[in-house]
C-alpha cells in the first residue's frame, strides 16, 4: 500500500516514556549532578520552546512509530557541492507516523501549522 517511489519504510513499537524513565534512572544512579542538571535543563528548554509540558507530551505517545521516505525520480532537486557541477537527486518526501493517546501533540502541531498562510487545511464535515 506504499507508493512505488518508496525508498524506505519502517513501523514498530517504541516506548518513549519508558526509555526516558530508564535514562533518568540510570543518570540518577551515576550521581553526576551536572548530568542531572542537564536533564532538567533539557526538559525546561523543551517546554519553553514548544509550549508543551514534558511529562504530558511523553505520556501522550501511544507507543507506535513509523517512517516512510520516498524519492521521486520524475522531480529533481539540485544540491550544491562546492565544485563546478551541483548534484541532482530525486525529490524526497517524508511521512512520520505516530500513534497518540490524546490530542496534545496534534493540537500543538495544528496551532503551529495554522500560523503559516501557505498551509491549506481541509474543511471538516460531519
Per-residue pLDDT of 51-75, as tens digits, reads: 999 999 999 999 999 999 999 999 9
- If DSSP codes are grouped into helix, strand and coil, which group holds residue 21? helix
Number of domains in the chain: 1
Residue 12: per-residue pLDDT: 97
Q: What is the pTM of this model?
A: 0.70
Residue 121 lies in a domain: no
List CB contacts of 25: < 8 A, sequence separation 6 or more.
Answer: none
Residue 123 lies in a domain: no
Q: What whole-number percentage of the chain has pLDDT above 90?
A: 75
Poorest-confidence range of 57-66, 104-113, 116-125? 116-125
CB 1 within 8 A of CB 11: no
Residue 126: per-residue pLDDT: 62
Q: Tell how far CA 69 is from the center of its chain.
A: 14
Residue 19 lies in a domain: yes
Residues in the chain: 126
Residue 124 lies in a domain: no
Residue 126 lies in a domain: no
CB 104 within 8 A of CB 65: no
User: What is the helix (H) or strand (E) element at residue 54, kind and residue range?
Assistant: helix 54-60
Residue 125 lies in a domain: no
**123: confidence class by pLDDT, cuts 50, 70, 90:** confident
Place of cell 517524508: 94
What's the domain range around 21? Answer: 6-114
CB 77 within 8 A of CB 91: yes
The pLDDT mean for the chain works out to 91
Residue 34 lies in a domain: yes
Which of 74 and 126 is assigned the larger pLDDT?
74
Amino acid at each position: 500500500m506504499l507508493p512505488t517511489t518508496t525508498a524506505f519504510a519502517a513501523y514498530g513499537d517504541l516506548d518513549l516514556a519508558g526509555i526516558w524513565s530508564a535514562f533518568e534512572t540510570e543518570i540518577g544512579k551515576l550521581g553526576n549532578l551536572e548530568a542531572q542538571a542537564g536533564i532538567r535543563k533539557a526538559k525546561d528548554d523543551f517546554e519553553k520552546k514548544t509550549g508543551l509540558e514534558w511529562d504530558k507530551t511523553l505520556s501522550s505517545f501511544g507507543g507506535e512509530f513509523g517512517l516512510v521516505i520516498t524519492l521521486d525520480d520524475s522531480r529533481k532537486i539540485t544540491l550544491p557541492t562546492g565544485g563546478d557541477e551541483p548534484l541532482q537527486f530525486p525529490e524526497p518526501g517524508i511521512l512520520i507516523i505516530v500513534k497518540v493517546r490524546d490530542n496534545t501533540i496534534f493540537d500543538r502541531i495544528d496551532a503551529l501549522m495554522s500560523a503559516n498562510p501557505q498551509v491549506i487545511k481541509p474543511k471538516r464535515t460531519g
